[in-house]
Amino acid sequence: MAITEGIPIKDMIHAKPYAGSKGAVLIGPNCPGVITPEEAKVGIMPGFVFRKGNVGIVSKSGTLTYEAADQVVKAGLGISTAIGIGGDPIIGTSTREAVQMFMEDPETEGIVMIGEIGGQYEADAARWIREGGNKKPVVGFIAGQTAPPGRRMGHAGAIIGGKEDTAEAKMRIMKECGLQVVASPADIGAVMKEAVR
């Protein structure tokens, strides 16, 4: 679990394959960690926000992980596991890999996928879901909908570099791939509650 942010890309180019060669799963860098409520927490997530349940959360943003968990709990559901994958340009576990873990997890019935501007992680995950990975409902949200092109927002990886890196493009791709996309994190819980009925 690499909570530290801003690890040099040159270092991550070596660290990521090295961890994989040892059979380790690297989460982060620049992540809040992983929590399975009432079982285990590794990282800096505020455990009191999370209640045991059947919704998995994968998010680039630590703060939005907590907000999504709160919205899911307020909707009368709970969290199976939440994975904050991190927001640096190179991270150990991608959105697609985390979504796949949730698709294969018998305790997870629905998935919240939170992304942000920059990079291809969300588009890759959405396309993987469409191409046969979609066994469970997925509610998606993309942060940075008002970000100006070319400006980094928050995380080191959150910079619009191509036409599919914008929030609008990612939300469109997610919808085209069958995900239920919300415009505000405040809607995550209600939409997920309907999705897992």
Catalytic residues: 155
**Whole-angstrom distance, CA of residue 117 vs CA of residue 124:** 14
Cα angle: 170, vertex 176, 180; to 5 degrees: 80
Unique residue bearing structure tokens 């620049």: 30
Q: Quick one: tokens of 191? A: 């939409």
**Whole-angstrom distance, CA of residue 158 vs CA of residue 40:** 29
Residue 124's Cβ-side half-sphere holds a number of Cα atoms within 13 Å equal to 12
* Residue 90 near residue 120, CB atoms below 8 Å: no
Unique residue bearing structure tokens 């809607």: 187
Count CB-CB contacts under 10 A for residue 104: 11
